[in-house]
Structure 1
Amino acid sequence: MMLSQSNLQLLQEVPIFREIEQHKFLSQIAANLEEVEFAAGHTIFKQGEPGSLLYIVVSGTIQVHIGGLQLAKLGPGDYFGEMSLFDSEPHSASVTTLEVSKCLVLTQQLIYQAIESSPEMGLNIIRLLCQRGTQTQLAC
């Protein structure tokens, strides 16, 4: 239960979930998260691979990159993998840990249930995907 409580606190800080008022629903999501630890230098996924998971960084530093071009450096509270959840396309970039890192992992099914249950979350995701798309274009 302690892990679920800390997961809930982290979820409430993640922009996708920030405006969701249904505390009970967020508690259900938090209880179903899987925590995964990655070694330093581990490639979580490569550009071109299919994806169906959303990752939320709990600790560590993670790099989003295309080849040698760094698109973003992520830390606790940041998230990645969301684009491939919705466009059914392979990952548009690779993601590699820069140090030992822990992430919470949400499945596509959990995200879809969240959107059905909370239209506010769907709007947050659309807004954030648009921002990410713009940032990626500017970086390239």
Structure 2
Amino acid sequence: MSSQMKCLMSAVAGAVMALSAGAANALTVSGTFDSIYPYTGGASVTFELLSSGGITTVISGTGPTFGGLYSPAPVAPSAVLSLPSFQSIYSFTSLAAGIYTFELFGPAGTGFTFDIIPSYGTSVALVPEPESLALAIAGLGVLGMLGRRRLSGASSQA
């Protein structure tokens, strides 16, 4: 096997591992609240609960923050705590494995940090946005074309 082919195979393997590395103990997402109403902003985070269990979510921002869990119907939290330091903490227990969307709200244009902390034995992975997945697939296609061009160029010189 040529060194170009080995390089291409290792690049593809690395990309696949990077795409599947979303399953972790705790996940953190940072962003900015998009304006949805005057003075009010919103954002959403979609994640997959890989196994049944519970999660705790923490929204931190530069202003008052709050949110809710949907799957696609609303899921009631088992506990809610709002801290004066612009943090909202939600606990959810007895969630079934599946894809969930957490809607976040805060002052429009301000930054936020959203943490998902799974209970012991529960696994969580972020669901990639369609744009990121399309970009990753396009990158793999470009790598494939470059590898094919190098292989056909090497065979014509021989």
More strand by share: 2
The structure number with the bigger radius of gyration is 2
More helix by share: 1
Q: Which has the higher contact order (CA 8 A, sep 6+)?
A: 2
- Give the TM-score of the pair, scaled to structure 2: 0.30
- Give the TM-score of the pair, scaled to structure 1: 0.32
